Amino acid sequence: MIKIQVNGARLACDETGTGSPVVLLHAGIADRRMWREQIDVLAARHRVVAVDLRGYGESELPTTAFAHHDDVAGLLDALGLARAALVGCSFGGAVAIDTALAHPGRVSALALLGSAVSGHDWSERTNDLWEALVGEVDPEDFAGTAAGEVRFWVVGPERDPADVDPRLIAFATAMDERALAAELALSAVDVAELDPPAIGRLGQLTMPVLVGAGAADVPDIRQLADRIAAEAPQAIRLPDVPDAAHLLPLERPGPVNAALLDFLP
């Protein structure tokens, strides 16, 4: 692990390999550890950087205002990289998209796995699923909230917890408890959002884009994958990966790694 000074904050990264650069951006319920099944595989061909976004994992959170997408561009500056491919899952996918829109010359390709999109409003169906599966949670009860979020996102609304590897559930829960503490701290900091947001600008993603999702993920995520693929001019939509939910790279590394190796420049 190394820490790199980026826009006034020290960001924790794992860096390995040589070749064309690839930056891995984690989900909001996780940290850079979620890429443990991808790093060594990709490093055989690429210079791979897995980063904890500001406030998450082992990265710092100064109280000054910032934007995650500007931090990604700043990370490339600090690493001496003119451009890189960005691979993002969930919230990390949204940050990757925002970076590509805010700094289009810095992004050579996008691989989006179960990606969120800034400006997207969750559907009534997804809100109803959350109420049915999780209900009210105390945001300061990290253990209880993490258990609910893992039930919703990692298990998924269409599976039973008994059908999912308990080691995955335990690891995801530990990452999410840490991420919830990060999000509570982030709520006290001015985090700038892309303006206008990405949801109405997907057609501006002119670089190659790979889009995938787990077949057991929430419906909105699969529909967002369809929309990105339909609107981004050079997008490729992978078939939904069977028996996988929101942390697709961690749960089904085989097909994810194969798709990334085939796609990344």
pTM assigned to the model: 0.96
Burial status of residue 80 (CB atoms within 10 A of its CB: 0-12, 13-18, 19 or more)? exposed
Q: Whole-angstrom Cα distance, residue 82 to residue 102?
A: 15
Fold of 2-121+191-263: Rossmann fold (3.40.50)
Q: Whole-angstrom Cα distance, residue 226 to residue 171?
A: 29
Q: Whole-angstrom Cα distance, residue 5 to residue 75?
A: 8
What are residue 111's DSSP bridge partners? 87, 210
**What is the per-residue pLDDT across 112-139, written as a single tens digit (0 to 9) for each?**
999 999 999 998 888 887 787 777 777 6
**What is the per-residue pLDDT across 73-126, written as a single tens digit (0 to 9) for each?**
999 999 999 999 999 999 999 999 999 999 999 999 999 999 999 999 998 888
Tokens encoding 192: 């700038």
Q: Where are the domains of the chain?
A: 2-121+191-263, 124-185
**Cα atoms found within 13 Å of the Cα of residue 209, Cβ hemisphere only:** 28
**What is the per-residue pLDDT across 139-175, written as a single tens digit (0 to 9) for each?**
677 888 888 899 999 999 989 999 999 999 999 999 9
**Cα atoms found within 13 Å of the Cα of residue 265, Cβ hemisphere only:** 12
Tokens encoding 249: 């790279």
